Amino acid sequence: MATIKNIVKNCIPPFLWKMATQILTQNVGGEIGKSAHCPVCNKKVKAFLKLSDYYDKMLEKYECVHSAYCMETMNRQSYRCPHCNASDRSRLYAVYLKQKFETQTRKESTFLDIAPDKDFTKYIKNFDFIQYRTADLYMEGVDDKVDITDMNIYPDNSFDIVLCSHVLEHIEDDRKAMAELFRILKPAGFAIIMVPINLHLKEDFENPEYKTEAERWKYFGQNDHVRLYSKNGFITKLTQTGFKVNQLGIDYFGKEVFERNAIHPNSVLYVVEKFRGAHKARFAAALVGADATVGFILYLRSFID
């Protein structure tokens, strides 16, 4: 095998060999020949499973106008764990939460998971100090049947931690949903809020007139999505809601952690907190160029929080 490798290597220009090595390393999630790791099930992985061909076939069938290869936090070639089926973004959540839990005292914390993933639920339940609840409007087996735009069953400031992963792209009024996430989060809590983000877009792409399966595949990249987010559009909406947005990428976690867990180098974890203090609320409004009404609402919220 080594001889064949050397023969092939000698036939390929050095810069192309280096490029191919980088691509393979990125896809597998570690150096060639080394095992990667899934933090969700805590098992070694020789190779993660690639994203199903179904999506590319559907995007081609409906002539999607956006490239599927410029999505943030998407490792197409090392997408799912062969043991527990955890996606690359779930692995990113697990890495962050483990670090978070290890650096804080083991105080009891309330955790709401919206549209939960079965295997990630198992992971969270390993932490005995977490009071974990699941919620969804349609999913069977959750603790609470709830509409994310009207979560009136939860009082204000209910949860220390909220996870809302790839939910908002399904919601017509995503701003209302964000406002509800803000309302139920405790002032000192944090939320992980993630959506599919196309890095080529300068603003969110949405049109309420696109309702058919064909239209949504073509313009939003999936038949049950109602928009495609841009990075700027997503952050702007969160900030206008009153959140402080923390973007945690490879510089925060480290290259070794990303490679070991097969997380794409362009992945970003969005961890949000409530702005606290009037001066911070005013700064949030000014930061995104919000109008006077939004600024005033943020100002009032600062006294409540």
Is 293 among the domain residues?
Answer: no
Gap between the Cα atoms of 188 and 110, Å rounded: 12
pLDDT at 304: 52
Tell me the pLDDT tens digit for each residue of 134-184: 999 999 999 999 999 999 999 999 999 999 999 999 999 999 999 999 999
Question: Residue 212 and residue 89: Cα distance in Å, rounded?
Answer: 28
Q: How confident is the model at residue 91 (pLDDT cuts 50, 70, 90)?
A: very high
Structural domains counted in the chain: 1
What percentage of the chain carries pLDDT values higher than 90? 76
User: Is 45 part of any domain?
Assistant: yes
The predicted structure's pLDDT at residue 275: 83
Contacts of 251 (CB under 8 A, 6+ apart): none
For residue 175, being part of any structural domain is answered with yes
The percentage of the chain sitting over the pLDDT mark of 70, rounded to a whole number, equals: 79
> Confidence band (pLDDT; 50, 70, 90) for 14?
low
Q: Predicted confidence band at 206 (pLDDT cuts at 50, 70, 90)?
A: very high
CATH of residue 55: 3.40.50.150
Asked if the model's pLDDT at residue 10 lies above 80, the reply is: no
Residue 281 lies in a domain: no
Distance from first CA to last CA of the chain, Å, rounded? Answer: 63
In a domain, residue 285? The reply is no
Q: Is the pLDDT of residue 276 over 90?
A: no
| Residue 182 lies in domain | 36-274
Residue 66 included in any domain = yes
Tens of pLDDT, residues 49-78 = 999 999 999 999 999 999 999 999 999 999
Report the range of poorest mean pLDDT among 7-11, 99-103, 282-286: 282-286
Q: Do the domain assignments include residue 141?
A: yes
Residue 24 lies in a domain: no
